[in-house]
Amino acid sequence: MSLAFDEYGRPFIIVEEQESKSRLKGIDALKANIAAGLSIARTLRTSLGPRGMDKMLQSPDGDITVTNDGATILEQMDVEHQVAKLMVSLSKSQDDEIGDGTTGVVVLAGALLEEASKLLDRGVHPTRIAEGFEAACEVCMPRLEAIADTVDTAANGHEELVQTAMTTLNSKIVHRMKRELAEMCVEAVLAVADLERRDVNLDLIKLDGKAGGKLEETKLVQGIVIDKDFSHPQMPKRVEDAKICILTCPFEPPKPKTKHKLDIDSVQQYQEMQEAEAAYFRDMVAAVKDSGANLVICQWGFDDEANHLLLKSQLPAVRWVGGVELELIALATGGRIIPRFSEISAAKLGSAGVVRELSFGTTHEHVIVLEGCAASKAVTIYVRGGNSMVVEEAKRSIHDALCVVRNLIRDSRIVYGGGASEIACSLAVAGAAEAVSGVTQYAMRGFADALDSVAMALAENAGLQPIDTVTAVKAAQVASASPQLGIDCLGTGTNDMKVQNVREALASKQQQLLHATQMVRMLLKIDDVISRDEDP
């Protein structure tokens, strides 16, 4: 792209390879961007709330995913438009920072884009719309803090944390076990939390699972679960006071670095070679045994000769353990990952209270559990389900609940869900707009209408009359000054979300508003889109 001037001195742009590029300018570019963002938001709109619908996604390989998690849906969707990709990144940023609200942030951004489109049709400049939306967002932040309640996360056996986690699980496939799973999530987070610093390292919580059982068999293990079994069936299935040698070197003789050829032309030479190989194995096993280790965890495999010598030396072993699991074991047990047998020493061994093999199901499936780890309080939530789709969706749901509990450990303030906080913010923005003159007032009112449309989506997905329901709730909030009144999606007979225990972390709601507003502001600033249609 270059700049040139005509005979009157007026500038114009010369685009390189003009024939292979398409270009949208001005209002056409804004309209196209808004349409692309709305198409993504409308896809997720029906998944919002406890009665939201699930989506079935099929990959090019034929793998099926059934979920209503916004980040997962957008991640697996095949989108080509640039703005659609930005909406995907919007959901991902919410997931990376907060871990929850990935559907709501995209639906809110879509509602804001729809209101922006109406204002553009009325001749309002995009910059004024963006300024009005930002002013409205600044009104929402203090309003959310004003209506937030601070919960005692330690009271009644951490019941407040459990109730908030249950709200997250209420819209998932696993909602029939929401109480049990919420309690597991709270117990897991508290096990690894640093309550003095009010911080949680979620890397210490491992989510693992296997198809072939019932969801009710999901359990919290106070330790690490490895989806392996001991390398020999006659090895002991339980090791008390384990001293663990963590190896990334295989039990095998050293191999020359260059191409080699070995000719054996007599029985004696073969026996000598066999004896040399056995001597290598004996030296390796002796190095491990002399260090005081009574359990070997190896990243690589080993042949039958090494396996027999390990059994003969009464040294249980686990092979083919993945690199990520090996690092987690090293962190939890306080051990060092050892790359060579010559470097094995007692100071590099990890320790655990008990290492045992668990079997389940009717197909003799086994896993190994490391409990009582010395260096950290790592835990594992082991998920079971009838098939892989149920297991994967349960893991995604549990991850969202873990993030919500972590957020409450960091900031114990909550707002009430069911659209209650959106309606309260909508009323605050509409009131603030009355005191603003000029075009900005229209943009702020559009922001308030967008917040109402989120509550309408909740009502619509619950099978209610959206306009009548939201209007009635707004009137009730104004009349009673009760910001906890929301949409009764579950049909319990009350609109009081505090009674229904429908809660959301304040941090999650604030980030939804900020991320959605920033995304819409960025899209309204784009008035020139140049894209390559085909390679030159």
Catalytically active residues, by annotation: 69, 102-103, 400
Q: Are 293 and 245 in contact (CB under 8 A)?
A: yes
Rounded CA gap, 413 and 390, in Å? Answer: 32
Q: Count other C-beta atoms under 10 Å from residue 526's C-beta.
A: 16
Residue 123 half-sphere exposure, CB side, CA atoms within 13 Å? 0
Q: Which two tokens stand for residue 295?
A: 């359990």
Q: Is 119 left (phi over 0), alpha (psi -120 to 50) or beta?
A: alpha
Rounded CA gap, 45 and 36, in Å? Answer: 15
* Cα→Cα distances 375→350, 372, 433, Å: 9, 9, 56
Please report the sign of the dihedral spanned by the C-alpha atoms of residue 269, residue 271, residue 272, residue 277: positive
Q: Are 466 and 459 in contact (CB under 8 A)?
A: yes
- Helical spans, DSSP H, in 57-151: 70-76, 82-97, 102-121, 126-147
CB-count burial class (<10 Å; 0-12, 13-18, 19+) for 140? buried
3-state secondary structure of 73: helix
Rounded CA gap, 452 and 471, in Å? Answer: 9
Pairing of strands 199-200, 379-385: unpaired
- Helical spans, DSSP H, in 212-352: 267-290, 304-312, 323-333
Task: Phi first, then psi: give them for residue 224, nearest 5 degrees.
Answer: -115, 135
The alpha carbon of 440 is separated from its chain's Cα centroid by a whole number of angstroms, namely 37
* Cα→Cα distances 513→387, 421, 426, 498, Å: 37, 11, 12, 22
CA angle (371 as vertex; 367, 372 as ends), nearest 5: 170
Q: Are 246 and 326 in contact (CB under 8 A)?
A: yes
